Structure 1
Amino acid sequence: MGDILGLVGKRLGLGAIILLIISAIIFFMIELLPGDVAQAVLGQGATEENLAALRKEMGLDQPAIVRYLAWLKGAIVFDFGTSIVTGGSVASAIGERFANTLFLAAYAAMIAIPISILLGVLVALLRNSIFDRVANVVTLSFISSPEFFLGYILILYFSVKWGMFPAIASLNDGMSFGDLLYRTFLPALTMVLVVTAHMMRMTRAAIINLLASPYIEMARLKGVPPWRVIVKHALPNAWAPIITVIALNLAYLITGVVLVEVVFVYPGIGQLLVDAVAKRDVPVVNACCLIFAATFILLNLAADVGAILTNPRLRHPK
């Protein structure tokens, strides 16, 4: 247990250093963008006095390193400053949007994970069969298609032609949980189609790799049915790579939803990021990018820890 806690501590420390480096890259890359933020906010008709006053209010009259350190100090305590466009707290605006994104990612994960594992086991059982080949072709077709393309295809058929689901995932406070699931089904389905292939193929590869092991051959020689060999003998030892790919795809579901949220006008953090970039709302852009980076780092840490917990050889490398 001490080894695991030590490993988690080391990974958290490394993750903090990486996040610090990423925060600096995000801040200074945004600083290098062409144009004047104050001019973009006030418009072309702004006077020099108004521009100077806004630059002073936003701290743009100070050196970039001073502004970065001040922003980093606030970000540590989740104070990301004030939105240039709305004048409200960035943390408050992001909090609700990030909760919506987490709900959408969880919705997609609840569908994708069981389907992916089930398909992975089936194609491993039916390796080199017609079902295996068709499943691989279909899932690879989905993963090769951009998210926005899949989203528009789903809107065309499920919304326009068949009228089964709304094309826009509009949310409000008074809707029921069932209505929420109904309105967000198409964006969730889009993400499911994209991530299922990764998890299915990893499950298939992990199980097929274990089927050549001596203990699997012994189980077969004893007359154990093929499905029982996979489910009871191969699958438990394949959990390490499967958990890793699930955690990485969960990171994608949270950080890679920008295009999906834009297509379905879903009020998540990805849509907020796109709006902030269009309006040059720099504090919101900085905060969104930092949250995406932190989420990806934490889920990568979860993938490492999950793989170690499910594999005794990784827990005791000596």
Structure 2
Amino acid sequence: MGFLFNSIFKMITRRIALGFLSLMIVSLIIFFAVSLLPGDFATAVLGRSATQDAVAAFQQQLGLDRPLYQRYFHWLSGALIGDFGNSFSMRPVAKIIGPRLLNTLVLAGTTAIIAVPLAVMLGVICARFRNRLPDRVLSAVTLASISVPEFFIAYLLMLALATKFQIFPSLSSVRPGMGFLEQAHRMALPIMTLLFVVLAHMMRNTRAAIINVMSRPFIEMAQLKGEPEMRIILTHALPNAIGSIASVVAINLAYLIAGVVVIEVVFVYPGIGQTMVDAVRNRDVPVIQACALIFSATYILLNLFADIISITSDPRLLHPR
């Protein structure tokens, strides 16, 4: 038992170190890719009519006159403690993206709370009635939702539920101090759109993971003992499929944080995705870099979390063949 615990601890430590290394590499790519974009940022912000002295003073104020590697290490050291510096509008980046990030987390968290248990339940139903009517109907619906772009689903829901029947508002303009019910009412359409996108992936992969476990010998032994099919799935197949399901759930949760840009733009939801689009439009490089790093860190952390769940739920992964 002690040997197994030590092996799991070492594996988790290695995964955490690898995740941190991946984040450093991603930060390097983000910073230098944005910094090497053509054009002068100071001129773009101040306008073509700005004098050379004004541009030089602005560059010195923002630290753009320093060597690239010095700017990177200064930015990285601050980012590691949550200080992303000032935007080109001279406002702290953390104050710009902080409330927007909270809005995105609320949107993603609400969607996840609904989507994860619903996807597992539907996946179990599909596995229980494999190749029968419930499985065929659910598989067809989810395949259709996967095939349709999320912005198209968003516009269809907006057309039907906001324009035609006027049940929900078409714009999700939430703001601080808004009541819970009013905020939930305004967030309904973005949540529905995200549910259509992530629910299909999670349900189909849950179904596939359970069916894969159902082909193992210990499941056949349980069937020979006469245990009910649903009991076999819930008590034997589902716990052994947790690792595979967790990986899929983590990837889709990462999408909910990092892939909501389109949804936030369509519904004008004040999240970090909308903030990044506005920053790109205004060429506000510090905000762009901070948003990209947050998206990358979220994706890496959630995948790391999925790896840890997979290892702890199935220690055989410590010794892959």
TM-score range, shorter chain: over 0.9
Task: State the distance in 2 between where 1:252 and 1:79 align.
Answer: 25
The residue correspondences of 1:108-119 to structure 2 (distance < 5 A) are 108-119=111-122
Counterpart position of 2:67: 63
Alpha-carbon shift at residue 219 of structure 1 (Å): 2.1
The residue correspondences of 1:103-142 to structure 2 (distance < 5 A) are 103-142=106-145
3-state DSSP class of the match of 1:263?
Answer: helix
Task: State the distance in 2 between where 1:177 and 1:165 align.
Answer: 15
Counterpart position of 1:5: 9
Counterpart position of 1:28: 32
Alpha-carbon shift at residue 175 of structure 1 (Å): 1.7
Which of 264, 269, 280 aligns to 1:261? It is 264
Task: State the distance in 1 between where 2:114 and 2:295 align.
Answer: 23
Task: State the distance in 2 between where 1:211 and 1:107 align.
Answer: 32
3-state DSSP class of the match of 1:170?
Answer: coil
Counterpart position of 1:302: 305
Answer whether contact 2:8 2:315 (CA < 8 A) is retained.
no
Alpha-carbon shift at residue 231 of structure 1 (Å): 1.5
Answer whether contact 1:123 1:132 (CA < 8 A) is retained.
yes
Counterpart position of 1:15: 19
Alpha-carbon shift at residue 223 of structure 1 (Å): 2.4
Give unpaired runs (5+ residues) of structure 1: none
Which of 47, 53, 56 aligns to 1:52? It is 56
Answer whether contact 1:309 1:315 (CA < 8 A) is retained.
no
Task: State the distance in 1 between where 2:27 and 2:320 align.
Answer: 34
- Per-residue Cα deviation, 1:118-164 (whole angstroms, up to 9, x for no partner): 11111111111232222112112212222211111111111011111
Alpha-carbon shift at residue 204 of structure 1 (Å): 0.8
Alpha-carbon shift at residue 67 of structure 1 (Å): 1.3
Answer whether contact 2:63 2:71 (CA < 8 A) is retained.
yes
Answer whether contact 2:88 2:285 (CA < 8 A) is retained.
yes
3-state DSSP class of the match of 1:184?
Answer: helix
Which of 165, 186, 191 aligns to 1:188? It is 191
- Per-residue Cα deviation, 1:194-230 (whole angstroms, up to 9, x for no partner): 1111111111111111222222222222322222221
The residue correspondences of 1:223-238 to structure 2 (distance < 5 A) are 223-238=226-241
Alpha-carbon shift at residue 313 of structure 1 (Å): 2.5
Alpha-carbon shift at residue 317 of structure 1 (Å): 7.0
3-state DSSP class of the match of 2:21?
Answer: helix
The residue correspondences of 1:67-106 to structure 2 (distance < 5 A) are 67-85=71-89, 87-106=90-109
User: How does the TM-score come out when normalised to structure 2?
Assistant: 0.94
User: How does the TM-score come out when normalised to structure 1?
Assistant: 0.95
Alpha-carbon shift at residue 291 of structure 1 (Å): 0.9
Alpha-carbon shift at residue 51 of structure 1 (Å): 1.4
The residue correspondences of 1:260-279 to structure 2 (distance < 5 A) are 260-279=263-282
Task: State the distance in 1 between where 2:318 and 2:68 align.
Answer: 45
